[in-house]
Structure 1
Amino acid sequence: MALNALTPEFAAFLAAHLPEGTIREAEPRHLADPRGRWTGQAGPVALPRSVEEVASIVAACASASVGIVPWGGGTGLVGGQLMANGPLPLVLSLERMNRVRDIFPEENMLVAEAGCTLQQVQDAAAAAGRLFPLTLASQGSCTIGGNLATNAGGVNVIRYGNARSLCLGLEAVLADGTIWRGLTRLRKDNAGYDLRDLLIGAEGTLGVITAAALILHPRPAQNAAALIAVPHPTAALTLLSIAQEQLPGMVSAFELISGMSLQFLAETLPEVRQPFAEPSPWLVLVDLGLPERLEAEQALIRLYETGAAKGLALDAILAQNETQRAQFWTLRENIPTANRRIGAVSSHDISLPLSEIPAFIPAAQKALGDIAPFRVNCFGHLGDGNLHFNVFPPKGGHKDDHADQREAVKRLVHDMVASLGGSVAAEHGVGRFKTADITRYADPGKLAAMRAVKAALDPAGILNPGAVLAG
């Protein structure tokens, strides 16, 4: 069914049936892509304060065949939160739905509305003596609704899982305006299809998430971190296995950082302190959450010494306090900023089976060298196999010099990833930027099932049109 463009008359109709100020003109932030590649169409934005208001808006749009683009914090990197082309949609911002409704420390859960920022939920959990472990660089502005819609990962997936693993239940509005009140506090409930898991990761194409029952964890008694220099990714992977054997269930993050990352930081952010006097080909950032009975520093020393004895670890720096631990994470979190300042020819958010990573990295670099003498900055979450494999022009060059090679670079990397059983949409989602990739690489049976689910739950195609599934 073809969608209709949002008209001034329809906007006026919505405004007349909703509280004053709910419908207004979208601000630039509602239409912006963080990487500056696309701009959404200027038009009205709806800012409801309750699930009932969301339901009224969705029902009206369904009747008028007007598309809806859900908007959380606007931090998505694959265009899922904006629509640059097609019939003018209504932007539906949940930023006013930002209350933590309930918290049950003894049950290790809380209920938060979709417009709560991730930081807000983390702070609410901390105030109750608990931990909400989802951690992203954008946590001050990204929202729980967006985190769940994209099944966000972040740095702690190795220990706590991604957003799906941290959610018990949802409240959501379906495409006809029906409210699904699924904010269960149950850990076991096998009564029928799991709509929660269906909506999580669907990027707003099957329903609009308005609130979530979130899983909390006990706070570790102590945290510890180290930067360990390693000769190659194979050593990093073996060191990860050793860390998990020596400290089962206590490795919160295990990040891989290339020497190119350090070069980019030196070029663009010289104020970020380099960890070692001599350049290292690769680093791993190990972060632990430990109980009181274990000595954090000794645990990391033992890990380093075991690795050094096996030729896996070349040098190490242990954080002596929380300030130094934060400095290690500042280095890691500034790598994307350095990347933006250098300017990527093509960026790739990929995941691979862990054992395939050591061979993939040099093979992909070698294959890219046949196109041009690119620089590759590979870094990411080694613990869960998610790498950011980004390709840059030679030093002194500019990304625009290679604009005609961008598609060939992406195709080469993605074809290699797919051939190894990996994913080309690891943690950022599909959005609108990667719909062609899903068509190319998804299993045909899965793709057909996805289209059938979309047709069943949103037959008019009003929910985030053009996202996830093209056409």
Structure 2
Amino acid sequence: MSLDANAITSALSDILGADNVIGQPERMGGYLNEPRKRFHKGASAVVLPPDVAAVQAVARWANENRVALIPQGGNTGLVGAQVPRFGNEVIVSLARLDKVRAIDTAGGVMTAEAGVILENAHKAAEAAGAMFPLWLASQGSARIGGVLSSNAGGVNVLAYGNARELTLGVEAVLADGRLYNGLNSLKKDNTGYDLKDVLVGAEGTLGIITAATLKLYPLPEDYETALVNIASPRQALRLFELLRQRAGGRLNAFEIIPQIGLDIQLRHGMLDKNPTASPSPWYALLEIARPAGAEPGTLQSALEAAFEQGLITDAVIAEALSDRTRMWNFREQMSECQSKEGASIKHDVSVPVNAIPQLIEEGSAAVEKLAPGIRPVPFGHMGDGNIHFNFSQPAGADGKAFMAQYDEAAHEVIYGIVLKLGGSVSAEHGIGQLKSDLLKRVKDPVALEMMRAIKTALDPNGILNPGKMLG
């Protein structure tokens, strides 16, 4: 017989102490209200384990009593992986596991617990003279456990990779309460399956990540940053190729933004100053890391060559930190600014880099034909193939009616083009509950069978984040 919410809260209070359990629905808002406000289920309880042993105790009890658990970091996820799907789950907040356990700059490794806020991980690394390069717009609230569970990307993937590539090892509590102690700091370890890679990106469906060993890099002496005018994504692709030739692995960001993104931000007073040189159909935000001892000027030299080749028409190079900050604010506010224009349809997709112009051209034309007056707002990580292909409602339209009529249809159009181009329907935001049905349609059947076999082996009672990823 299943336990009701009162019985669950009482049992968990006995295990953890009442101060570590929230059973009153009115106190759960911060754990239930995810950023996009698409999911609205309650929870039986929220628990805040103070240490790893407490997480193990919760998992053991939940497994024995068939109570579903949802691991949660900073509740910044965009596909609903971190909030309830059914309304009777227990949210396991890792917020109190917030220690940086160790930093080894010689080995280039930091060991951080799952509840460490990403921005605090940056500060800890920098205080030791190193850099943890995973940079997200939500880094002031996103936590390491959630970042790893969703295999987050961000703006530095081009140079450093996704969260998975930045992780050497993980510590995780399994469904039955056993502790997988995989805090490996070795660059080479060929002793079997890489279990870290199974747990990172699993969205808490295979285990609850409690700590990780993360790669550190030397702090750059400085950055060379520019915002340039480009005529089209096709010109952006040629510019990207030029910059890769000139800067190689030092090119850590190449982001594209359409003119409409600037118009919206200026219209709603989101920028204290226009960061661009002049009006342009498209902009590219470029950044090159300059290591200690390297001569400055790589970016300027590359831009001079780009001017000569007709790839760019104007540019602003950041001369001070305030300039760089303003440019990055312009980029990071792209998702937020759309909310000020009403409803929007969002896609987090990836295609081979050389297919990005075709994706944007075909996708924009197809959805504009489907929904006359709709406003395409594609932007994002040109350098790694990840485009946030968003569409804002027609000006003055009723947002709810617009979403009801076009949301699903626009998804079908864009995902069809993405798959035709050999892309992915989820680039960096994950699957969660938003795309679990879609995954079953587009994923290779053998791959799905392998994933289900892993899930069954590690979580036979199905208590870890049910209804997410595999549904």
Q: Is the 8 A contact 1:6 1:90 kept in 2?
A: no
**Following superposition of structure 1 onto structure 2, how do residues 231-242 of structure 1 map, counting pairs within 5 Å?**
231-242=231-242
SS in 2 for 1:379: strand
Q: Is the 8 A contact 2:250 2:289 kept in 1?
A: yes
1:462 aligned to 2:460? no
**Following superposition of structure 1 onto structure 2, how do residues 102-141 of structure 1 map, counting pairs within 5 Å?**
102-141=102-141
The equivalent of 1:321 in structure 2 is 320
Q: Is the 8 A contact 2:225 2:286 kept in 1?
A: yes
Q: Is the 8 A contact 2:376 2:392 kept in 1?
A: yes
Measure the CA separation in 2 of the matches of 1:303 and 1:5. Answer: 64
The equivalent of 2:261 in structure 1 is 261
The equivalent of 1:35 in structure 2 is 36
Measure the CA separation in 1 of the matches of 2:348 and 2:51. Answer: 35
Measure the CA separation in 2 of the matches of 1:358 and 1:97. Answer: 43
The equivalent of 2:357 in structure 1 is 358
The equivalent of 2:206 in structure 1 is 206
SS in 1 for 2:16: coil
**Following superposition of structure 1 onto structure 2, how do residues 26-425 of structure 1 map, counting pairs within 5 Å?**
27-85=28-86, 88-269=88-269, 271-276=271-276, 278-296=278-296, 298-373=297-372, 374-402=374-402, 403-425=404-426
Give the superposed CA RMSD. Answer: 1.5
Q: Is the 8 A contact 1:172 1:180 kept in 2?
A: yes
SS in 1 for 2:448: helix
SS in 1 for 2:370: coil
Measure the CA separation in 1 of the matches of 2:326 and 2:425. Answer: 31
**Structure 2, unaligned runs of 5 or more:** none
SS in 2 for 1:172: strand
Q: Is the 8 A contact 1:261 1:378 kept in 2?
A: no
**Structure 1, unaligned runs of 5 or more:** none
SS in 2 for 1:424: coil
Could you list the per-position Cα deviations for residues 388-420 of structure 1 after superposition, in whole angstroms to 9, with x for gaps in the alignment?
000122222233232222111111111111111
How far apart are residue 340 of structure 1 and its match?
A: 1.5
Which AA in structure 2 matches 1:444?
P
- Larger deviation: 209-218 or 181-190? 181-190
Measure the CA separation in 1 of the matches of 2:394 and 2:459. Answer: 46
1:12 aligned to 2:10? yes
Measure the CA separation in 1 of the matches of 2:57 and 2:398. Answer: 49
Measure the CA separation in 2 of the matches of 1:268 and 1:211. Answer: 41
Q: Is the 8 A contact 1:272 1:331 kept in 2?
A: no
How far apart are residue 56 of structure 1 and its match?
A: 0.6
Which AA in structure 2 matches 1:395?
A
**TM-score, normalised to structure 2's length?**
0.96
Q: Is the 8 A contact 2:349 2:426 kept in 1?
A: yes
Measure the CA separation in 1 of the matches of 2:106 and 2:278. Answer: 49
- Larger deviation: 405-414 or 259-268? 259-268
> Judging changes above 3 Å, is the alpha-carbon distance between structure 1 residues 6 and 144 closer, same or farther for their aligned structure 2 residues?
farther
- Larger deviation: 367-376 or 204-213? 367-376
Aligned length: 466
SS in 2 for 1:247: helix
Measure the CA separation in 1 of the matches of 2:292 and 2:168. Answer: 29
Q: Is the 8 A contact 2:85 2:467 kept in 1?
A: no
Measure the CA separation in 1 of the matches of 2:366 and 2:188. Answer: 48
- Larger deviation: 130-139 or 13-22? 13-22
> Judging changes above 3 Å, is the alpha-carbon distance between structure 1 residues 31 and 270 closer, same or farther for their aligned structure 2 residues?
closer
Measure the CA separation in 2 of the matches of 1:380 and 1:196. Answer: 28
How far apart are residue 279 of structure 1 and its match?
A: 2.0
How far apart are residue 190 of structure 1 and its match?
A: 1.3
Measure the CA separation in 2 of the matches of 1:352 and 1:84. Answer: 30
Could you list the per-position Cα deviations for residues 36-75 of structure 1 after superposition, in whole angstroms to 9, with x for gaps in the alignment?
1212314311111111110110010000000001110000
How far apart are residue 35 of structure 1 and its match?
A: 1.2
Measure the CA separation in 1 of the matches of 2:377 and 2:290. Answer: 32
The equivalent of 1:453 in structure 2 is 454
Measure the CA separation in 1 of the matches of 2:89 and 2:83. Answer: 9
Could you list the per-position Cα deviations for residues 326-361 of structure 1 after superposition, in whole angstroms to 9, with x for gaps in the alignment?
111011111111111113341000001011111111
Measure the CA separation in 1 of the matches of 2:4 and 2:470. Answer: 22
SS in 1 for 2:227: strand
Q: Is the 8 A contact 1:4 1:67 kept in 2?
A: no
Q: Is the 8 A contact 1:6 1:89 kept in 2?
A: no
How far apart are residue 277 of structure 1 and its match?
A: 6.1
Measure the CA separation in 1 of the matches of 2:15 and 2:356. Answer: 55
The equivalent of 1:428 in structure 2 is 429
> Judging changes above 3 Å, is the alpha-carbon distance between structure 1 residues 231 and 429 closer, same or farther for their aligned structure 2 residues?
same
